[in-house]
Amino acid sequence: MKICIVSDSHDRADALSAAVAHAQQDGAEAVIHCGDVIGTHTLRGLKPLGLPVHVIHGNNIGDTLAMARLAAAPDSVIRYHGQDARLELAGRKIFAVHYPEYGAAMAATGDWDLVCCGHSHKAEITWLPNIKGGKTLLVNPGTVAGLSAPATYILGDLATMTFAIHTLS
């Protein structure tokens, strides 16, 4: 299963939709958004794409009640998890959080196959050692909005655990 990982869209609905559409063309079947969505209108453009979108809020929270209502709508593709998300996709245990430091700490536990974070606006893919003697993949897709950094997202393959940073043109 391929997934699209985005973060820090900061009300830039057009950039978010473009990244998810590109990832979908490359085979993505789900989206993880690592926070700083701001408003629900930012996510509404993803509905026509039909992919499930797992969202956390980050430090630029916006209207959490509106986010919960959007996720609760009968035809919604949005799954709103609050501060962080614990997911299982394609048999992989995935943790999503906004802050890189929190992400690195969760990766260190060795309880997750993949930890996704955002906040820094710096795209990175890093294997971190964990306390169980293995390594855990920590990915930060940067900022899909292109704020003080290139507009980026990550496309990952959960079967092979290969991930690549993509830049929006």
For 162, other C-beta atoms within 10 Å of its C-beta total 12
Q: Which of 141, 144, 135 is nearest to 114 (CA)?
A: 135
In a 10 Å sphere around its CB, with 0-12 CB exposed, 13-18 middle and 19+ buried, how is residue 83 labelled? middle
Token pair belonging to 8: 């820090």
Whether 162 shows a pLDDT value over 80: the answer reads yes
The DSSP secondary-structure symbol of 159 reads T
Whether 99 shows a pLDDT value over 90: the answer reads yes
Lowest mean pLDDT among 43-52, 53-62, 82-91, 135-144: 53-62
Q: What angle do CA 1, 56, 84 make, to 5 degrees?
A: 90
Quote the pTM value: 0.97
Number of domains into which the chain is organized:
1
Percent of the chain with pLDDT over 70: 100
pLDDT digits (tens, 9 = 90+) for 20-69: 999 999 999 999 999 999 989 999 999 999 999 999 989 987 888 999 99
Read off the pLDDT of each residue in 119-143 and give the average, rounded to a whole number. Answer: 98
Q: Which helix (H) or strand (E) holds 100?
A: helix 100-108
Q: What angle do CA 11, 13, 16 make, to 5 degrees?
A: 110
Read off the pLDDT of each residue in 132-146 and give the average, rounded to a whole number. Answer: 98
Q: What is the CATH number of the domain that holds 67?
A: 3.60.21.10
Q: Are 66 and 54 in contact (CB under 8 A)?
A: no
Provide the residue range defining the domain that includes 100: 2-167
Q: Which residues contact 160 (CB under 8 A, 6 or more apart)?
A: none
